[in-house]
Chains A and B, each alone.
Chain A
């Protein structure tokens, strides 16, 4: 799997990770993958929910030592 772009929202809180995720995904083509780095614990629920609602695919999520990392495929 190739990561097309990376979005680092470290330090930012709701609503900004989702606002920036929407903007970033708008610039991707179907099938491309966005890596999202976050520290807001709200993203643990917001990003999977956002993916399901918007027709994008959450390929993976993990807690890192400093926060969270998500891989989202444009649907």
Chain B
């Protein structure tokens, strides 16, 4: 596989782990990975938003325990550090959906430097997802 596109919608800490882990795996094999963050997940592309991400719902009380397990597994436990680790592979691009950015308060000023920018969904779907070897939605 040479390219993969991932659309990330959920912003709960545990639900972000899988797309990040899959991106890390593919990037380590030289695959180009493009990730579009939509809905609440767009806030993960801001430093403040990424640091605020927690486990939600029924498992909220297990947030600290899960982070400890993630760290033991060898992954950076904090979302900003995980994003930086993925970026350092040189194979992963992070995009903020422009609609989500508008709704959820993300702009060029608070977008973290690891993100490649705020983009239109049409561009991502047609230029990235449609041309990727594989596309995943989370």
Partners in one complex: yes
Bound: A15/B93 CA distance, A = 18
Q: Tally chain A residues at the interface, Cβ within 8 Å.
A: 15
- The SS class assigned to the A binding surface is helix
Bound: A11/B72 CA distance, A = 7
Bound: A13/B75 CA distance, A = 9
Chain B residues contacting A53 (CB-CB under 8 Å) are 29
Chain B residues contacting A20 (CB-CB under 8 Å) are 74
Q: How far is the CB of B75 from chain A (nearest CB, A)?
A: 6
Instruction: Give the contacts of B38-65 with A (CB-CB under 8 A).
Output: none
Partner of A14, one of B21, B29, B72: B21
Using a CB–CB cutoff of 8 Å, the interface residues on chain A facing chain B are 9, 11-16, 18-20, 22-23, 50, 53-54
Using a CB–CB cutoff of 8 Å, the interface residues on chain B facing chain A are 21-22, 24-25, 28-29, 72-75
